[in-house]
Structure 1
């Protein structure tokens, strides 16, 4: 029977000398557990806040929204709903502030009713909202007012109407945070919207209808029965439950990224545990052999060291849980610019329990891999100089541990993703990555041994030989630091590609100002005004709005009833904006058909050109029939050509182009595209346009690009912050692995010094070994990063790929330098003290 009391005492006594080393290598698991607990706590708090704040974010029990008013038939259906009703019109337009002589592109919103029903439209002063119904008053975004020193009581001109600013708007409802960067919100009453003159044929208006329903009303059943009819009219129904699901879906990508960071950090920590335990066990082989000679069973010795690892591992898990709980307090601040709700910070006991259980299980499984061979160590090891493993039969228990590691990772990923297939793919991907890095490391070791340069200098040969000697760090460093470097470099390259693609959109002669909502008779005056500012007219485009009524010989109603329909709803339900011309604009390419398709006479067939993506969504080809309603006038056309369009250029782009001499007399509005040389000219030009043509909207694309660039920079900062978990864990693995192999390297250095090697030679040997290790690890990681970033940029993000070689070179040098510095610090005692003193201290 096993004497557990003796095993515990022996484990305690044996650990006294090496306790610091055990704490060091277990520190690599702390960051992994910390990342897991922090991220899961944040995710659980976020989900709880979504559930609690969904109603106040939506502002109502039911929202009906679209780019046109509800029809009489749908209005009669909505009239049957019990409860309270409100509505909001929203459009992008221009505002002019006479006090500061400044114009601004804004998001104008006209309210009627007691919206929001849940939550509060916060203003300063608090009662400013009431004034909207008392006359020509407006609420203006606080950030804009502070930026341009506009005060409550100043005036704002919206279209042809002047309003007094009743107060500052402190929050906004159901609007994108991104738009706030270049189009601050302005609220007025809906009854004053008509007086502004901004709602014309070319206005891009969004209509929102809000309903507060009794608590016992089954809104889900009503939506299920009516949704199809509303969708057929291009109207969207949204409920509080749908808002919860949409928010959860919107943050699913964020959750996946955070979970991946936690997983990588945890796995790197586990690799550090496995490699460190392996080295620790090898340093204990003489002691184990002595215990075996004294009659102690191999299984009992195994329990001695397992108890040590389990105890220190438990302490590491507890510290990781504490650190993760502290870190999760900072995550809501980190993501506050990207979240439409306030995330509270509460201790998540569920996340803590998950982190503790998963941490202990994963840590012990990885530690068992190097611990299990202890059972097979022979007493004869005390007489052997070789550190090669004993030749034994295959250990099926060890293979069982490998299987348990794979199954536990699969179960862990399945739990995180809530999808077995995704968990399986993640597990296989991780296994492939680790096996690839391991194979590269083994190949390097084999290559160095096979093609060892025996004619080179002694210092270089000695450093190179350390790559395959006992206790070498080649595999450990290539896997841990290689993977960490790969993650950091991949994130760095992708963020650089995103930022550069945004910046290139405003490069060179790209137009940066677009004017829309122009009436036909206003174009001559705008051309003259643009010429006065010495700005070129890049494009002058007429736009006609219409709706599709049928295609391929069937009406839209018939297609909606056809279960074999392949056309996508977004394509045929939308209000289509088309133009007419007989030339390509230089950023288009005809893929099929003829453009333009000439007409023999005015009564001949009309051939239109479709963008390739739109044609695929409609499932039509050259020669197919398309029917339209052009603002009350039916029109039958045929597909004459299909075009490829470059949407990355700052030009107007159209899914459908009509030939000339067809739509010239149809109700239309104009768009003018120009190029401003600097922000000052843009501001002056925009103000002049608004003064003379109040209905025309001027979009400054440079401000939009600046806002997008700022957002991308913030996202990059968040990604880098989260990647630090993985990178620091990888470096901890490096530090712990190098320090735990200190004894072996010191003995070799002492032997070399005893044989006459100088301190300078020892430094060169150590520097050579760790420079080679660092170079191989960093190079392998960078190669993986180049491949993975190219795949992401080309196939996922569809970005123009390039590699920032200077930055990559800096990353390479930093990784190598860190490894060399740590390696040299390991040998400082050999250089400062006598060989005998060092041996006595380390024995």
Structure 2
């Protein structure tokens, strides 16, 4: 112990003295660490900024301190009195309906939101022109005022001052809507917003029995400190109310969850880039130590213990790694200032952008562990080489592993890296799967590299000297094969996986789903309107198939008497419990479903309420046959026993429900009907005629054209895919850096080879062909691996997780092959050209 600390001090002093020569040879090292660390720091900083803004701006995002939501019914007098006792109440009502021109020539789906005079309690509604809402929404000249999103005006060819019809109400557009404070907390809408008064909505006649309507009661509390306990008090006082309660500290839980998930994915992609960069770290350290052979030999000959020699270069590597981490942290610190400027119109952002030490600290720890994990093995190899071997110019290319302390240190560092990734993840299962896939990919890449070298070693002799030299370079000691395959393989495989998933989803949306999906969904059909409505569809589309089912809305309260809000539900099943779900009843099994377990109820069943549950969602929620489900429908709590599980084809986009009840469950309950029209021969013009006929005859029926909804979904998916591909490109950039570093580290040996071959009569042209053949073989082999691994991963995600048909896309294969060849051949020959220009004499004198 007495001698240990002085030795450490000496090692640090010598390390700092050697670093005076600069960072030559470590630029790739720095870039790899900085890129991976910067990606992780940037993603987590931006994520924390957005989620922090959601938390701090909760009152404005919710437009209240607390929000009570009821579906398909308004609050009873007792419930309203309770809400009024809590503070100032603003009431709004939301629903989807059809807006149309007075002459019936044009119509469009809108997200109508009717508000009272107290709205908004927090935040500001921004309109153009800027005027008070009371003026913009008031009634004048037998027309109610309306504020519409610019998209609605664009779709219907309108301008301010024009009039539209909503149900039976005449609405004059008085302004365009720039922003509303609670838009994000109310969820994503497939149609443009139309803001109007509650009086206008009442005059429209859209609120009828069974209509899909959301009534929101937003409250500015007398005592905000009471907010946390109000949910329990309200549910205890009104156990059958069935309302959904949200407080300002959880103003947009779905948005927060999605931001966290997306951030986790991008963090894992950044970690992949960092791990790929770790290969570059190992290459750079090996090349650096190789260049220090004489120095290391001198230290050893002068009596320096191997422990001290190792510490000297470990300190240097950690110090240089610290510089790379610092650069990455600078990138991560600056990222929110840049990114939030672009996101300001899409997501909540903090009013003053700040630094996020926790995000930066996490990234720094990732960078430090990666640097150490990938540097320690080359250091272990250097420690084992005797001084005599170093003086004989033998490098660190020997086979075998370093001694067990170095293996243990590398293993602990990698375990710490994995543990940190899992511990910091929102969904730890996904993190484990992702890291497992990366580990398997590394093992497979190593096997692929060994297989390529083995095949090259056993290949028959060829007549071409250039090709023979290329094959020899692939399997010789110190060959670049492992580094090239490792560096490019993982980055290309990740890009192939994402490209194939994106391509398959787009194929489903624009191809299979479009062919299978109905042309229209019709919502809020009253019982008295069904016959006339069906007659119109038969007149307009005589070849079409019409499907009708009763529809109610209900919210799941408990399973087997256990409150679902207190259950730890896996991510795959949470959507079923989030808000109200559409439910129905049926005498017979729906045509588009099959029983997987249990039995359907008999005709004219009159026993206890039974329910058929979706098999996939039941599995996620841990349900079994005989369990009970309690749902709140129209203010009543109804408990039904699970009779069977159904396999549902969700991708058909036909009428599907998670829960189908026995008919006796809702006997006598008021409800509306849901219908679809499927006519594969319908042209866009014919669909327009159907839409006009239904909307003009039944203005309170909401018509949704499926193609429009799929177009919006495809557009959103395209935006997400662009962001994901940009993040995945970070991993590819890291791969390219590692490739460049690997080729650069092999330049010394290549220089000796080129000089000797030129001395023996080899021409520059022949050597260029030889190197080109070598890089082409390695690039092709890497592309084949990336296609195989990426296709397998994409198939698993699409077919097993998304439950969709997976198709191989040839264009992705061609692009991957071209990219691999361009990168390997291009970067390889760029470095080789300089090698071939070396004069022979100086190199020969060093041999």
- TM-score range, shorter-chain basis? 0.7 to 0.9
Distance 1:455 1:184, change over 3 A: closer
Distance 1:101 1:254, change over 3 A: same
**Equivalent residues in 2 for 1:743-758, closer than 5 Å:** 743-758=748-763
Distance 1:111 1:393, change over 3 A: closer
Equivalent position of 1:46 in the other structure: 50
CA contact (8 A) 1:514 1:674 kept: no
Matched, 1:160 2:160: no
CA-atom RMSD in angstroms = 4.6
> Which string of whole-angstrom CA distances, capped at 9 and with x for unpartnered residues, describes residues 777-816 of structure 1?
3322332222222222233222211221331232122112
CA contact (8 A) 1:595 1:609 kept: no
**Equivalent residues in 2 for 1:172-251, closer than 5 Å:** 172=180, 174-175=182-183, 182-227=190-235, 232-243=240-251, 247-251=255-259
CA contact (8 A) 1:506 1:512 kept: no
Q: CA separation in 1, counterparts of 2:292 and 2:243?
A: 73
Judge which range, 709-718 or 360-369, deviates more.
Answer: 360-369
> Which string of whole-angstrom CA distances, capped at 9 and with x for unpartnered residues, describes residues 93-143 of structure 1?
111133894211111112124122111122222224112663222221133
**Equivalent residues in 2 for 1:714-753, closer than 5 Å:** 714-753=719-758
Of 775, 784, 797, 2:802 maps to 797
Equivalent position of 2:128 in the other structure: 124
CA contact (8 A) 1:30 1:320 kept: yes
Q: CA separation in 1, counterparts of 2:568 and 2:640?
A: 20
Gaps in structure 1 of 5+ consecutive residues: 551-555
Judge which range, 708-717 or 46-55, deviates more.
Answer: 46-55
Q: Give the TM-score normalised by the residue count of structure 2.
A: 0.84
Of 87, 96, 100, 2:91 maps to 87
Q: CA separation in 1, counterparts of 2:424 and 2:244?
A: 31
Equivalent position of 2:652 in the other structure: 649
**Equivalent residues in 2 for 1:288-303, closer than 5 Å:** 288-289=296-297, 292=300, 298=306, 301-302=309-310
Distance 1:190 1:393, change over 3 A: closer
Matched, 1:697 2:705: no
Alpha-carbon distance, 1:206 to partner: 1.1
CA contact (8 A) 1:549 1:628 kept: yes
Q: CA separation in 1, counterparts of 2:160 and 2:265?
A: 43
Distance 1:57 1:775, change over 3 A: same
Q: CA separation in 2, counterparts of 1:32 and 1:486?
A: 18
CA contact (8 A) 1:409 1:427 kept: no
Distance 1:825 1:615, change over 3 A: closer
**Equivalent residues in 2 for 1:545-556, closer than 5 Å:** 545=552
Equivalent position of 2:371 in the other structure: 363
Matched, 1:481 2:484: no
Alpha-carbon distance, 1:349 to partner: 4.9
CA contact (8 A) 1:494 1:789 kept: yes
Judge which range, 521-530 or 726-735, deviates more.
Answer: 521-530
Q: CA separation in 2, counterparts of 1:487 and 1:425?
A: 14
Gaps in structure 2 of 5+ consecutive residues: 1-5
Q: CA separation in 1, counterparts of 2:68 and 2:166?
A: 26
Of 578, 585, 588, 2:584 maps to 578
Equivalent position of 1:464 in the other structure: 471
CA contact (8 A) 1:33 1:266 kept: yes
**DSSP 3-state at the match of 2:125:** coil
Of 313, 318, 321, 1:313 maps to 321
**Equivalent residues in 2 for 1:235-384, closer than 5 Å:** 235-243=243-251, 247-286=255-294, 288-289=296-297, 292=300, 298=306, 301-302=309-310, 305-306=313-314, 308-332=316-340, 339=347, 345-352=353-360, 354-356=362-364, 358-360=366-368, 362-381=370-389, 384=392
Matched, 1:507 2:514: yes
Distance 1:506 1:771, change over 3 A: same
Equivalent position of 2:413 in the other structure: 405
Equivalent position of 1:416 in the other structure: 424
Q: CA separation in 2, counterparts of 1:563 and 1:121?
A: 33
Alpha-carbon distance, 1:757 to partner: 2.1
Equivalent position of 1:498 in the other structure: 505
Of 6, 22, 25, 1:21 maps to 25
**DSSP 3-state at the match of 2:787:** helix
Equivalent position of 1:553 in the other structure: none
Of 811, 814, 817, 1:809 maps to 814
**DSSP 3-state at the match of 1:273:** helix
Distance 1:511 1:664, change over 3 A: farther
Aligned pairs, number:
827
> Which string of whole-angstrom CA distances, capped at 9 and with x for unpartnered residues, describes residues 532-590 of structure 1?
5456431142526598999xxxxx999579999999997999786536576864x3335
CA contact (8 A) 2:127 2:175 kept: yes
Alpha-carbon distance, 1:362 to partner: 3.4
CA contact (8 A) 2:25 2:284 kept: no
CA contact (8 A) 1:57 1:173 kept: yes
CA contact (8 A) 1:336 1:342 kept: no
Alpha-carbon distance, 1:196 to partner: 0.9
Distance 1:422 1:529, change over 3 A: closer
Of 532, 540, 544, 1:537 maps to 544
CA contact (8 A) 1:298 1:375 kept: yes
**DSSP 3-state at the match of 2:406:** helix
> Which string of whole-angstrom CA distances, capped at 9 and with x for unpartnered residues, describes residues 203-261 of structure 1?
11112111111345422123234446667543211111233665433322112112112
Q: Give the TM-score normalised by the residue count of structure 1.
A: 0.85
CA contact (8 A) 1:123 1:170 kept: yes
CA contact (8 A) 1:543 1:578 kept: yes
Distance 1:712 1:83, change over 3 A: same
CA contact (8 A) 1:131 1:166 kept: no
CA contact (8 A) 1:107 1:186 kept: yes
Judge which range, 752-761 or 712-721, deviates more.
Answer: 752-761
CA contact (8 A) 2:445 2:485 kept: yes
